[in-house]
A and B are shown apart, each in its own frame.
Chain A
Amino acid sequence: MTEYESAPIVTLTGVKKHFGPVRALDGVSLSIARGDCIGLVGHNGAGKSTLVNLINGGLQASEGDIAFDLGDTAMQAGVRSVFQELSLCPNLTMAENLRISHNALKGIHWRRQARREIRASLDEVFPNHGIDADTEVDTLSIAERQMVEIAIAFAPRGTSARLVILDEPTSALDAGIASQLIAHVKRFCAAGGAVVFISHMLGEIFEVANRVTVLKDGHIVAEHPTEDFTRQALVDAMGHVAADDPETAIVAHALGAEVVRTPQGLAARAGEIVGLSGLAGHGQAAALAQLFLSRSSAWRSGTSPDVVFVAGDRQRDGVLPLWSILQNISISVLRQGAKLGLVDTASEARVAADWKARIGIRTDDVQNPILSLSGGNQQKVLFARALASPAPIVVMDDPMRGVDIGTKQDVYAMLRAEAARGRTFLWYSTETEEACQCDRVFVFRNGAISAELTGADITEEKILEASFQMQTAS
C-alpha cells in the first residue's frame, strides 16, 4: 500500500491552457495517486473538461508540466476517460466500438473476443444491464450508450485501467444505474485504481469521493478531504448563491384548462409543470418527441408556435454547430418582427443580449461560435431558444444534463415564474429530485405510463415503486 501512495499516477505542475484570449485553465497543480477518488466540481465553463483533456492527452498544455509514473503518455499510464459528449461510433456495434481503443484485439476471431470482454465489463459495472453486445450503438438510448462508454473505459483492453476520468457520467443515468456505477467506482478505488469523478450532483460527490477539488475560472480554489466539506461550504467554494431547498419554493397557483392530452394518457393543464419520470429509456423521450411533432408542422411555421422543444441530447437534437450563439438563440423566434420575410436583426440582437444576461451564458460576445461554449453553457443557449419564444407549451427532454447547480436553481425559478404566467411545461428528467418539483408526475415503464402522481404523492419512493413494479411482480 505505501508503495503506490508515494508515486502518483499523474502529476500536474502549474498547468495553463489558453484558447486564444480565453484562459480555460490558469495554473493548475494536482496529483492523483492510486486509491484516490477525486470529486471534481465547478460551475459551467470553470475548466473541468479542459483539465480532463489535458490529463488524457487530448489537448497540449500551453504552459506547465504533466508527468506520468508509467511511460510518457496517458495511454501508457493507463488513463481512460468517459466524456460528457458521448464519443461512440453510432454505426458500429458495442463490441466493435471496444476494438477502436483496444489494439490487442487481432485475428479472425476478434469480434468474439471483443464481445466477451465488453460483456464481462458491463456485467461487472452494471449487473442485469440487459444490453446485447451485438447491438448497434445508434439503436441504444442515451443512458445505454453512456453505460457502454463507461464499461469500455473500465475494460481491460490489453493493459489495465489505472486512472479513469468520468466527466458527468450519471447525467443521463437514472438513480438505480447511477448507484451501480458509484458502487463500482468504490470497488475500483479500493483495489488500487484511481478515479476522477466530475459531477454537478453534490450528493454523488459526497458519496463517492475521498477528496474534493473545486475549480473556479480556471483555478483550483479549494482542495480538501471530503469529510472537511459541508454541502454549503462546497456550494460557496464554487461561487454560487446558497441553493434553497427546492421543495419549499413551490408556490401553489391556479391551473387553467387542459391543453395537452395524448392517446398515451399524457395530460397537462395551462400553467402546470408536468414531470415525466421512471427509468431512463422507457419511452419518455419518445413520448415527448411525438408530442412535439404532432403539435408542430414540417410545412408551416406561424409567428407564434404552439409548442417549443428543449433538447437534452445537444449534438443530435439541439445545437446548430456552424452558427453563433446569437443565431442559435434566435432560430425559433425569427418570424417575430420579420418584415417582408427579412430578419429583424436589431430585435434579434436584443433577444440574444437579454437572454445572455437572464440565463448567464458565459461568453464575451454572443457573436462567438456556439461551439466555443462549454457543454453546460450550450445547454443554456437551448433553454434561451425555447423560453424566448412565446409558445404556450414547452417540452423539455432531460434538459439539465451538464448544467451546474447554480444555473439549475435559476432555471427552476424561471420555470416557476413562467408557469405562474400560464405556460405549460412537460419535463422529462433522469433526476428524481427534479421530478419532485413538478405539479404532476407521469411515471413511465416499458413505453407506457405506469402511474400518475399528484401533490403529496410525488415522492422518490412512489416514483421508484412505479418504475420497478413489473419487475417485482413477475
Chain B
Amino acid sequence: MNLLSKPWIWSWSAAALTFVLTIGLTSGRGAGELAYAALSFGAFAAIVGLGQMLVITLGPGNVDLSIPATMTLAATLALKAMASMPGTALLGLMIALAVGLGAGLANYALIFLLRLPPIIATLAASLIYQSLAIWSNRGLRIKPPQELAEFATGRFLSIPNVAWVGLALAVVVWIVLERSVWGRWLLATGQNMRAARLAGVPIEFVRATTYLSVSVFAGLAGYLLASFSGGAALNMGAEYLLMSIAVVVIGGSSIAGGNSNVPGVWGASLFMFLVISMLNSYGAAAGAKNVLTGTIVIAIVIAASTRKGRI
C-alpha cells in the first residue's frame, strides 16, 4: 500500500505544515505550548468529529446539526447536578451521557417516525435542546468540581488528559468500523441503503445506533469542555457545528457516505486548531478566520471530488 494513497496522510501533512509555519513566526519559541494547546482543543473537535463521521457515513442527507445544542445541554445539566461539590464527577458524566442518549433518541424518533430529513429534524431538535439549556441554566455559571477541573486541564505522560480520552475513543471507533459486524453494516448502508437492506443488513438498527452514538459523543465532549473551561456557557458548542463537519471532510471521509476515515479526523482536528492559532499569531480578524475556514472546507471538497473523478 502506497502511503500517499491513504486519505488521512493529507490532513496530517497539512497539520504538520501549519505547525511549522506558526512556529516559524516565533522563530521556534513556544513549540511545546502550541502542540499542547493543539492536542487539548483538537480533542474536543475530534470527539464530536468522530460522531459526525459515523452519521455522514450513513449516506447522503445524513448529518447531525444538533451537536452544539446537545453539548450545551449536557454540560449545563451535568454541572448543575454536580453543583461544584467534590466526588460528583462520575454522577456528572452519567448525566451528560444520559442527556446525549436522550437527544439521540429524540433525533432518531423525529427522523424515523415523522420521516423528516435528518438535516431538518436535528436542526429543529437543537432549538429545543438549546431552549432547555437556557431554561435550566438561568444565567448561572456553575464551576465544575475541583478534581474534575484538574483532570480536564491536567496531563499524563505530557499529553493532555482530554487528548487521551479523544485518542481512546478514536481507537474504539476505528476497531468498530474496521473489524466489527456493526461497522460493516454501517459502511454497507452508506453505500446503498436498499441493497444493504436486501442483503439482510438491519438498516434501521444501524441508523438508530448511529444517531445515538453521535449524541452520546456530543454529550461527552460538552462535559469535558465545560470542565476544561471552568463552566458551561450557552454558546460553548457554537463553533463545533461547522467544525464537526469540517474535520470529517478534511479528514478524507467521503461526504457521499459509505467510507470513513478515523485517523484523518484527528489530523484534521489538529489542523483546524493550528490554522486558527496561526491566523491569531499573524493578527487576523475574527471575520477573516471564518472566511478562511469556509474556504478551506470548500477547497477540500472540490479537491476530493476531482481526485475521484480522475480514477
Binding site for B on A (CB under 8 A): 289, 292-293, 296-301, 305, 308-309, 311, 316-323, 327, 331-332, 334-335, 338, 341-343, 345, 385, 389
Does B259 lie within 8 Å of A322, measured CB to CB? yes
Does A322 lie within 8 Å of B258, measured CB to CB? yes
What 10 pairs across the A-B complex have the smallest Cβ distances? A298-B204, A301-B202, A309-B198, A320-B191, A334-B181, A332-B200, A342-B179, A331-B199, A299-B205, A341-B180
Instruction: Select A316's contact among B194, B204, B254, beta carbons within 8 Å.
Output: B194
Does A318 lie within 8 Å of B181, measured CB to CB? no
* Residue of A with least CB distance to B198: A309
Contact A334-B184, Cβ < 8 Å, known A311-B195, A317-B198: yes
Q: Which residues of B contact A335 (CB under 8 A)?
A: 181
Instruction: Select B200's contact among A318, A319, A322, A389, beta carbons within 8 Å.
Output: A389
Interface flag for B196 (CB, 8 Å): yes
Contact A317-B194, Cβ < 8 Å, known A301-B200, A301-B202, A341-B180: yes
Does A317 lie within 8 Å of B195, measured CB to CB? yes
Does A319 lie within 8 Å of B195, measured CB to CB? yes
Q: Which residues of A contact B198 (CB under 8 A)?
A: 289, 292, 309, 311, 317-318
What is the 8 Å Cβ interface bit string for chain B, positions 85-123, against chain A (1 contact, 0 not)? Answer: 000000000000000000000000000000000000000
Q: Which residues of B contact A331 (CB under 8 A)?
A: 184, 188, 196, 199-201
* Residue of B with least CB distance to A338: B181
Interface flag for B6 (CB, 8 Å): no
Does B195 lie within 8 Å of A300, measured CB to CB? no
Q: List 17 A-B contacts (CB under 8 A).
A: A298-B205, A299-B202, A299-B205, A309-B198, A309-B199, A311-B195, A317-B198, A319-B192, A331-B184, A331-B199, A331-B200, A331-B201, A332-B200, A341-B182, A343-B181, A345-B179, A385-B199
11 further interface pairs, Cβ-Cβ under 8 Å (given A322-B191, A345-B179): A301-B200, A301-B202, A305-B200, A316-B192, A317-B198, A319-B192, A320-B195, A322-B258, A331-B201, A335-B181, A342-B180
Q: For chain B, what secondary structure do more than half of its interface residues adopt (helix, strand, loop), or is it mixed? A: helix
Does B197 lie within 8 Å of A321, measured CB to CB? no
Does B191 lie within 8 Å of A321, measured CB to CB? yes
Contact A327-B258, Cβ < 8 Å, known A320-B191, A332-B200: no
Q: Which residues of A contact B79 (CB under 8 A)?
A: none
Interface flag for B203 (CB, 8 Å): yes
Q: Which residues of B contact A318 (CB under 8 A)?
A: 195, 198-199
Q: For chain A, what secondary structure do more than half of its interface residues adopt (helix, strand, loop), or is it mixed? A: loop
Q: Which residues of B contact A327 (CB under 8 A)?
A: 184
| Cα of A338 to Cα of B179 in the assembled complex, Å | 10
| Cα of A22 to Cα of B202 in the assembled complex, Å | 37
| Cα of A286 to Cα of B39 in the assembled complex, Å | 54
Q: Which residues of A contact B197 (CB under 8 A)?
A: 293, 298
Q: Which residues of B contact A385 (CB under 8 A)?
A: 199
A318, A319, A321, A334: which has the most chain B beta carbons within 10 Å? A334
Contact A301-B184, Cβ < 8 Å, known A320-B196, A321-B192, A343-B179: no
Does A300 lie within 8 Å of B202, measured CB to CB? yes
Does A308 lie within 8 Å of B179, measured CB to CB? no
Q: Which residues of B contact A322 (CB under 8 A)?
A: 187, 191, 254, 258-259
* Residue of A with least CB distance to B184: A334
A188 CB to closest chain B CB (Å) equals 36
Q: Which residues of A contact B188 (CB under 8 A)?
A: 320, 323, 331
Instruction: Select B202's contact among A298, A319, A323, A341, beta carbons within 8 Å.
Output: A298
| Cα of A343 to Cα of B179 in the assembled complex, Å | 6
A305 CB to closest chain B CB (Å) equals 5
A365 CB to closest chain B CB (Å) equals 14
| Cα of A318 to Cα of B201 in the assembled complex, Å | 12
B92 CB to closest chain A CB (Å) equals 29
Instruction: Select A342's contact among B181, B192, B200, B258, beta carbons within 8 Å.
Output: B181
A160 CB to closest chain B CB (Å) equals 33
